[in-house]
């Protein structure tokens, strides 16, 4: 099947395998950065932070001349780092159901650090930054440096990604847990955001990424200099690079839409019956696994192929796209550890075999609403 798929793409003039293996880091202006942008000596200096007149973000070394956008970006990156650490610690360590009360308390307290100090800011500020990237693309910034996601990928993939993370953050931490977020009306609101995310990806996202895979710009016919990643300079080489990125995100985007569909089903049940059918604990666990997949994949993708472009590391760390797959897979390890639980949970949720009420019957002790007194204890 893989050979057949490769042959089919080759007929269209593009081979995803050679695209994945491509490594073009040439500061003489002939090659590309890790992110498909045409490299020049000036951009090379900007990426390395050698030009004090061009402040760059922590991620992508992307010039951010707007102080507000740059400040939000820095805070978002630090929040993402802490989010990853806390998620990994809590998945690897004792859970809130542990027989040892001290160990159970550790899980709950670290979880509250995540739910109150990190997660909401990460999700909300991420959507604000996405607004900056999609609605206010600045060609003068693109011409100064590398652009990791670019207008097309930001609009097509990161927009539903942000909506998904927003939903699982509020559903997994607060929904029907605290008095300020009761099942009605909040389950209804979150349900419709999940539906919007699915619809968005199935239409706008799939068109933009799918069109790039087929060799088109995927930009709704807008002028190429306003939408093309890579400083607005069109070349076959940088377009091929982004076709490979589109090939990866197209597949992950549909998996993400699958997560959204499961979220929609959960929220429909909670909207109708609170947590009397599906337990809060099972809803929370599903959401944390969804969040671990989303954050782990993005984190792994950056670690895999952007150490030079993202962090100004030595040039040799400009790795080919092929390195993204195994490193991204390693970073979503909670997804693999709990894959059988997820399979059983989804089967029960949709009524195959057992029911979700039967599946959740041993976990309903966590359904109680959290008061401020209980929160502080």
Closest CA to 97 of 363, 286, 368, 372: 363
What gap in Å lies between CA 343 and CA 274, rounded to an integer? 23
Q: Where in the sequence is the domain holding 187, given as residue range(s)?
A: 2-376
Distance from chain centroid for Cα 341:
22
What is the domain count for the chain? 1
pLDDT for 21 equals 44
Q: What is the mean pLDDT of the chain?
A: 77
Closest CA to 156 of 246, 261, 244, 216: 246
What gap in Å lies between CA 334 and CA 302, rounded to an integer? 18
> Which H or E run includes 366?
none
pLDDT single digits (tens) 254-294: 999 999 999 999 999 999 998 999 999 999 999 999 998 88
Quick count: other Cβ atoms within 10 Å of Cβ 47? 32
Quick count: other Cβ atoms within 10 Å of Cβ 35? 28
Quick count: other Cβ atoms within 10 Å of Cβ 350? 13
What's the number of CA atoms in the CB half-sphere (13 Å) around residue 279? 17
What gap in Å lies between CA 147 and CA 229, rounded to an integer? 7
Enter the pTM of the model.
Answer: 0.82
User: For residue 92, which phi and psi values (nearest 5 degrees)?
Assistant: -80, -25
Could you tell me if 157 and 253 are in contact, meaning their C-beta atoms sit under 8 angstroms apart?
yes
Could you tell me if 151 and 230 are in contact, meaning their C-beta atoms sit under 8 angstroms apart?
no
pLDDT for 330 equals 81
Could you tell me if 164 and 290 are in contact, meaning their C-beta atoms sit under 8 angstroms apart?
yes
Closest CA to 57 of 126, 143, 145, 117: 145
Residues of the chain predicted below pLDDT 70: 1-40, 47-48, 59-62, 136-150, 223-241, 302-325, 370-377
pLDDT for 283 equals 94
């Amino acid at each position: 099947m893989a050979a057949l798929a490769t042959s089919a793409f080759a007929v269209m003039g593009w081979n995803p395998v050679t695209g994945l293996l491509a490594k073009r880091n040439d500061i003489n202006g002939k090659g590309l950065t890790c992110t498909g942008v045409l490299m020049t000596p000036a951009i090379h200096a900007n990426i390395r932070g050698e030009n004090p007149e061009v402040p760059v973000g922590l991620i992508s070394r992307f010039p951010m001349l707007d102080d507000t956008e740059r400040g939000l970006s820095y805070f978002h990156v630090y929040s993402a780092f802490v989010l990853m650490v806390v998620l990994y610690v809590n998945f690897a360590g004792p859970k809130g159901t542990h027989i040892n009360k001290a160990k159970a308390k550790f899980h709950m307290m670290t979880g509250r650090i995540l739910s109150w100090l990190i997660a909401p800011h990460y999700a909300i500020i991420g959507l604000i930054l996405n607004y900056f990237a999609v609605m206010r693309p600045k060609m003068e910034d693109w011409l100064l440096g590398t652009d990791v996601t670019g207008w097309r990928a930001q609009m097509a993939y990161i927009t539903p990604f942000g909506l998904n993370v927003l939903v699982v953050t509020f559903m997994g931490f607060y929904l029907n847990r605290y008095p300020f977020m009761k099942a009605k009306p909040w389950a209804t609101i979150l349900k419709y955001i999940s539906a919007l995310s699915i619809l968005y990806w199935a239409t706008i996202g799939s068109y933009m990424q799918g069109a790039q895979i087929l060799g088109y710009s995927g930009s709704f016919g807008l002028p190429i200099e306003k939408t093309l990643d890579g400083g607005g300079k069109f070349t076959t080489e940088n377009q091929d690079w982004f076709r490979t990125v589109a090939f990866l995100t197209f597949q992950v985007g549909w998996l993400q839409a699958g997560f959204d569909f499961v979220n929609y089903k959960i929220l429909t049940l909670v909207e109708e019956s609170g947590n009397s059918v599906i337990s809060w604990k099972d809803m929370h666990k599903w959401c944390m696994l969804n969040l671990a997949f989303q954050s782990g994949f993005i984190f792994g993708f950056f670690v895999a192929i952007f150490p030079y472009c993202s962090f100004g590391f030595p040039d040799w760390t400009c790795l080919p796209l092929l390195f993204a797959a195994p490193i991204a897979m390693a970073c979503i390890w909670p997804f693999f550890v709990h894959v059988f639980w997820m399979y059983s949970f989804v089967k029960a949720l949709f009524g195959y075999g057992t029911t979700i009420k039967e599946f959740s019957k041993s976990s309903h002790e966590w359904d109680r609403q959290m008061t401020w007194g209980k929160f502080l204890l």
